Amino acid sequence: MLHTQIENDEVVERYVRNRLTLEDRQAFEEHYFACDECFAKVQAMERFIAGVRDAAERGALADAAAESSRRAPAWALWAFAGSSAAAVALAAVVAWALLVRIPLLQRNAQVAMAEAQSQQQMVALQASVAAGPGAQANVPLVMLQATRGEETATAVLPADSRQLIVWVEIGPTRYRNYRMEVDAPSGKPVIAVEGLSRGPYGALAASLPTAALQAGIFRVRLIGQAPPPASLVSEYRLQIRRP
Amino acid sequence: MPGTTESGFLTGIQQGEAESEAALYEKYSARVYYLALRESKSRQDAEDVRAETFLRVLQAIRKQQVRSQDALPAFILGVARNVLRELYARRRQMGDAVPAEEAELTTPSHEHNFIDNEVRIAIRRTIERLKPREQRVLQMLFYDELATEQVARAVDLAPERVRLVKSRALKHFREIHYRLTAGKKGN
Q: Give residue-wise pLDDT tens across range A15-50.
A: 998 888 888 999 999 999 999 999 999 999 999 999
> What per-residue confidence (pLDDT) applies to A87?
56
Residue among B25, B19, B26, B27 at smallest CA distance from B3:
B19
Cis peptide before A73 (omega within 30 of 0): no
Say what the ipTM of the complex is: 0.85
pLDDT of residue A90: 65
Q: Nearest Cα to A184, choosing from B105, B110, B146, B101? A: B105
Q: What confidence category does residue B100 fall into, taking pLDDT thresholds of 50, 70 and 90? A: very low
- What average pLDDT does range B164-180 have in this prediction? 92
Whether A33 has its CB under 8 Å from any CB of chain B: the answer is yes
Q: What is the mean pLDDT of chain A?
A: 76
Sequence-distant (6+) residues with CB within 8 A of A242 are A156, A157, A159, A214, A215, B108, B109
What whole-number distance in Å separates Cα of residue B140 and Cα of residue B151? 6
Q: Which one is predicted more confidently, A133 or A210?
A: A210
pLDDT > 70 fraction of chain B, expressed in percent and rounded: 84
Alpha helices for A58-130 (secondary structure H): 62-70, 74-81, 84-96, 102-130
In chain B, % helix, strand, coil (3-state, to 5) comes to 80, 0, 20
Kindly state the average pLDDT of the residues A210-234.
Answer: 82
For residue B181, is pLDDT > 90?
no
A64 contact residues in B (CB cutoff 8 A): 127, 130, 132, 135-136, 139
- Gap between the Cα atoms of A54 and A151, Å rounded: 24
Candidates B106, B122, B133; nearest CB to A212: B106
CA distance A33 to chain B (A): 6
**The pLDDT of residue B43:** 85
| The predicted structure's pLDDT at residue B65 | 85
Subunit contact B127:A60, Cβ cutoff 8 A: yes
Per-residue model confidence (pLDDT) at position B11: 84
Torsion angles phi and psi, residue A166, rounded to 5:
-110, 125
Mean pLDDT to the nearest integer, A119-148: 65
What pLDDT shows up at residue A70? 45
- A240/A242 Cα distance (integer angstroms): 7
Residue of A9 and A74 predicted with greater confidence: A9
| Per-residue pLDDT at B3 exceeds 80 | no
How far A26 CA lies from chain B's nearest CA (Å)? 10
B101-106: Cβ within 8 A, 24+ apart:
B101/A22, B102/A188, B103/B39, B103/B40, B103/B41, B104/A18, B104/A186, B104/A214, B104/B38, B104/B39, B104/B41, B105/A184, B105/A186, B105/A188, B105/A190, B105/A212, B105/A214, B106/A190, B106/A211, B106/A212, B106/A214
Element housing B14 (H / E): helix B6-14
| Residues in chain B within 8 Å Cβ distance of A51 | 114-115, 119-120, 122-123, 173
Share of chain A above pLDDT 70, in %: 66
What angle, rounded to 10 degrees, do the helices at A22-34 and B72-94 form?
A: 130
Nearest Cβ partner of A32 from B31, B120, B139?
B31
pLDDT category, B5, cuts 50, 70, 90? low
Shortest Cα distance, chain B CAs vs residue A69, angstroms: 9
- The whole-angstrom distance between A142's CA and the closest CA on chain B is 17
Give CA–CA dist A155/A215, Å, rounded.
10
B177 interfacial to chain A (CB closer than 8 Å): yes
A residues 138-167 near B, CB within 8 Å? Answer: 152, 159
Chain A positions touching B102 (Cβ under 8 A) are 188
CA-based end-to-end distance of chain A: 36
Provide mean pLDDT across the span B88-109.
57
Lowest mean pLDDT, pick from A49-58, A111-120, B76-85, B114-123:
A111-120
pLDDT beyond 80 at B141: yes
Taking alpha carbons only, the member of A198, A231, A237 closest to residue A217 is: A237
Q: What is the DSSP string of B93-132?
A: HHT----GGGHHHHS--SGGGG--HHHHHHHHHHHHTS-H
Model confidence band, residue A69 (pLDDT cutoffs 50, 70, 90): very low
Q: Looking at residue A148, what is its pLDDT?
A: 43
Q: Is the pLDDT of residue B156 over 50?
A: yes
Q: Which residues of A touch B122 (CB under 8 A)?
A: 47, 51
Cβ neighbour number for residue B42 with a 10 Å cutoff: 18
Highest-confidence segment of A34-38, A138-142, A223-227, B42-46: A34-38
Residue B101: the pLDDT is 47
Spatial CA neighbour of A21 closest among A11, A31, A30, A8: A11
DSSP characters over B140-166: IIIIS---HHHHHHHHT--HHHHHHHH
